[in-house]
Structure 1
Amino acid sequence: MNSLIGTYECKADAKGRLMMPSALKKQLSPVVQKGFVLKRAVFQPCLELYPMDEWEAMMQNVNKLNRFKKKNNDFIRRFTAGVKFIELDASGRLLIPKDLIGFSGISKDVVVASAVNIIEIWDKDRYEQAIDDAAGDFADLAEEVMGQDDGDGIS
């Protein structure tokens, strides 16, 4: 699957159903039939939606870990905590389970943001706060992560 593009604001209803934005649904159309995995994010109070092929690729890496090492076993347990298989309903909605709503703090206003090959689902206020918190450090972070010197000063 190609990289996903876009950040969208939408609403969740009282049952935790979220209408997938049409532009994102169009990008996901080749993988919708296989379903998705919805899980807690590792570093942020948001949810991550993996297309099934992306999840299976991630699990191939996780499955290589030696489970007789405590830290690996602990990681696997924490990484897969709350994982749910999700499908879009006939109306193109995604049902977010109550335990994952609790983790993410999602209420009514939601941000759905592409993150290369997965989708992050945020409570809008928490998303705005995370963006604001990272704004000052982003230039330094970009330089550290992407600014590898190839000898002639051009990255």
Structure 2
Amino acid sequence: MNSLIGTYECKVDVKGRLMLPVNIKKQLLPIIENGFVLRRSVFQECLELYPMEEWQLLMQKMNKLNRFKKKNNDFIRRFSAGAKMVEVDANGRLLIPKDLTVFAGISKEVVVSSSINIIEIWDKDKYEQAISDAAGDFADLAEEVMGQQDDEDGIS
């Protein structure tokens, strides 16, 4: 799957249904019928939407963990806690389960943001806060994370 692109403001209806933005839907079109997994983010109070093929790749990596190590078992349990299979309906809507809505603090206004191969779903206020909190540190973070890339591909 190619990288997803875009950040969009959307609304969730009273039943917890999110109308996917047209541009995101177009990018997902080749794989939309395979379904998705929606889960809690590890680092933020947001949700992560994995196309099924991306989820399967991640599960293959996690399946290599030695389950006879308590730390690995605890990680697997926490990582998969609350994960749900979800589908996009014929109208382009995604139903966000109530427990995940509560976890992410989603009320009505949300931000749907691409994150390379997955989509993050945020409460709009929490997204704006997370972006503004990180704004001052982004230059340092970019240098630390990407500045050491001196391989042949040469990210610049």
TM-score range, shorter chain: over 0.9
Secondary structure at 2:68 match in 1: coil
Structure 1 Cα separation of the partners of residues 36 and 150 of structure 2: 38
Kindly provide the CA deviation profile for residues 73-111 of structure 1, in whole angstroms up to 9, marking residues without a partner as x: 000000000000000111100000000000000010000
Length-normalised TM-score, structure 1: 0.96
Runs of 4+ in 1 over 3 A off after TM superposition: none
Cα deviation for residue 11 of structure 1 reads 0.2
How many residues in Structure 1 have an aligned counterpart in Structure 2?
A: 153
Give 5+ residue unaligned stretches, structure 1: none
- CA distance in 2 between counterparts of 1:79 and 1:3 reads 23
Paired AA for residue 82 in structure 1: G
Local SS of the residue matching 2:9: strand
Per the TM alignment, residue 150 of structure 1 is displaced from its structure 2 partner at its CA by 3.4
Aligned-residue RMSD, C-alpha: 1.3
Using the size of structure 2 for normalisation, the TM-score is 0.96
The answer for the alignment partner of 1:52 in structure 2 is: 52
The residue that corresponds to 1:109 in the other structure is: 109
> CA deviation digits over 1:95-147, x for unaligned, max 9?
00000000000010000000000000000000000001100110000000001
Mapped to 2, the partners of 1:129 and 1:68 lie a distance apart of 40
Q: Report % sequence identity.
A: 76
What secondary structure does 1:113 align onto?
Answer: strand
> How far 1:148 moved relative to its partner?
1.3
> Matches of 2:14 and 2:4 in 1, distance apart?
28
Deviation at 1:149, TM superposition (A): 6.1
Q: Which amino acid aligns with 1:62?
A: M
CA distance in 1, matches of 2:87, 2:49: 11
Matched residue of 1:74: which SS?
A: helix
Q: Are 1:13 and 2:21 counterparts?
A: no
1:87 equivalent to 2:82? Answer no
Q: Does 1:66 align with 2:51?
A: no
For 2:106, the aligned partner's letter is I
